[in-house]
Amino acid sequence: MDGSATTDGPLDPAVARGRRAVADALDDLPAGSSVAVAVSGGADSLALVGLAG
């Protein structure tokens, strides 16, 4: 996932930067690793869900 585009057109630059930051944070995990993410439903949690896109 490079975070550069979707089927609906280019991503907002902030979303693209967020996706890149998440991808960079996960780069060191071995292939096939599982990651658990807990969300509360608040604005920051919903933003994280949106980055997973």
Q: What's the rounded Cα separation, in Å, for the pair 3 and 40?
A: 24
pLDDT of 30 reads 94
Q: What's the rounded Cα separation, in Å, for the pair 31 and 8?
A: 29
pLDDT of 2 reads 52
Q: Are 15 and 51 in contact (CB under 8 A)?
A: yes
pLDDT of 19 reads 87
The residue segments making up the domain with residue 29 are: 5-52
**Domain count across the chain:** 1
Give 10-residue mean pLDDT values along the chain (53 residues).
Answer: 59 86 90 87 84 71
| pTM assigned to the model | 0.60
